[in-house]
């Protein structure tokens, strides 16, 4: 256990609690479905009233034995922590359930279900854990059949939602379930990639030295000079690359335009920026 980090364990537990709270108070209370193994536990719960906390463990135990070598020791241990924590928190929230009356507004219930499930799973994934289930199956299919993990997980989720519709969901609830799953997927990406979002700029100009100097002096941002080669001109060119915050984008454009109105500028989305000026100060200390 010495290779496990307490910080990661703490956030995996926190993510499990958030996920379980949303699952109980928005999915179960409002009879909304879900993809993956969570969706299977809902089917068993609404058909035969089987305990979702217990079913989550029982469904995952066989996969633990299969996934030991696939996941690696550290991820495997984090996965066990995450799966057991989810089951434990599900049991706690089912016993000490708080009634949140949203049956008359299923759209709001679907949004909250997606946000809580997305934030919870996003935190778990961000700190090295998983909740077992489809993730292990997807790795197996990728290894032995060559399918991408995303494709396998999408097909499994689609099958579970279809099965939910055939068993306990009506048309209306199934459509809101799709809303919840879509929102959850987007939120997972947002949490994993980081809340910070900047812009990367690639700048090609005949006045690259002046542009780089002004960006460094006026914006206090670092610039990297890349070597480029123009296919049409057959000439080597220097390409400037820098990363700025969203609220600095207009200043960057103004600097480039004032120096060279004909400069070629390409902007790209940048997520989760790390390093000096973003997460570290000039002394390399965390901001």
Model pLDDT for residues 1-39, shown as the tens digit of each residue: 555 688 899 999 999 999 999 999 999 999 999 999 999
Q: What φ, ψ does residue 264 adopt, rounded to 5°?
A: -95, 120
Q: At residue 118, does pLDDT exceed 80?
A: yes
pLDDT-derived band at 104 (thresholds 50, 70, 90) equals: confident
What is the chain's alpha carbon radius of gyration, rounded to the nearest angstrom? 24
pLDDT-derived band at 154 (thresholds 50, 70, 90) equals: confident
- What is this structure's pTM? 0.78
Q: Report the distance separating Cα 32 and Cα 52, nearest Å.
A: 14
pLDDT at position 22 is 96
pLDDT-derived band at 279 (thresholds 50, 70, 90) equals: low
Q: At residue 119, does pLDDT exceed 80?
A: yes
Q: At residue 81, does pLDDT exceed 70?
A: yes
Q: At residue 150, does pLDDT exceed 70?
A: no
| CA-to-CA separations, 69 to 58, 84, 139, 219, in angstroms, rounded | 20, 19, 11, 49
| Mean pLDDT (whole number) for 247-273 | 89
User: Domain 198-269 classified CATH 3.40.80.10?
Assistant: no
Give the tokens for residue 266. 């390409």
Q: How many residues does the chain have?
A: 287
pLDDT at position 213 is 94
Burial 147-158 (b: 16+ CB within 10 A, else e): eeeeebbeebbe
Start-end of CATH 3.30.70.120 domains in the chain: 198-269
| Mean pLDDT (whole number) for 173-188 | 91
Give the tokens for residue 230. 């123009």
| Mean pLDDT (whole number) for 205-230 | 92
pLDDT-derived band at 73 (thresholds 50, 70, 90) equals: confident
The per-residue pLDDT of the chain, averaged, comes to 87
pLDDT at position 85 is 95
pLDDT at position 287 is 53
């Amino acid at each position: 256990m010495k290779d496990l980090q307490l910080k990661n364990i703490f956030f995996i537990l926190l993510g499990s609690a958030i996920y379980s709270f949303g699952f109980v108070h928005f999915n179960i209370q409002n009879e909304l479905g879900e993809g993956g193994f969570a969706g299977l536990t809902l089917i068993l719960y609404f058909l035969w009233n089987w305990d979702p906390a217990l079913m989550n463990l029982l469904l995952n135990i066989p996969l633990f034995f299969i996934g030991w070598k696939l996941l690696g020791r550290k991820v495997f241990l984090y996965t066990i922590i995450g799966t057991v924590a989810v089951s434990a928190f599900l049991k706690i929230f089912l016993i000490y359930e708080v009634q949140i009356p949203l049956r008359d507004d299923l759209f709001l219930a679907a949004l909250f279900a997606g946000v809580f499930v997305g934030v919870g799973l996003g935190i778990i994934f961000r700190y090295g854990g998983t909740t077992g289930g489809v993730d292990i199956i997807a790795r197996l299919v990728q290894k032995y059949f060559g399918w991408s993990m995303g494709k396998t997980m999408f097909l499994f989720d689609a099958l579970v939602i279809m099965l939910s519709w055939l068993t306990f969901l009506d048309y209306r609830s199934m459509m809101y379930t799709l809303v919840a799953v879509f929102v959850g997927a987007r939120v997972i990406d947002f949490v994993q990639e980081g809340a910070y979002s900047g812009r990367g700029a690639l700048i090609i100009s005949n006045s690259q030295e002046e542009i780089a100097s002004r960006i460094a002096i006026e914006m206090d941002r670092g610039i990297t000079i890349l070597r480029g080669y123009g296919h049409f001109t057959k000439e080597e060119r220097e390409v400037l690359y820098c990363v700025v915050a969203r609220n600095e984008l207009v200043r960057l454009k103004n600097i480039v335009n004032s120096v060279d109105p004909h400069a070629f500028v390409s902007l790209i989305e940048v997520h989760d920026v790390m390093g000096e000026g973003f997460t570290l100060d000039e002394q390399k200390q965390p901001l």
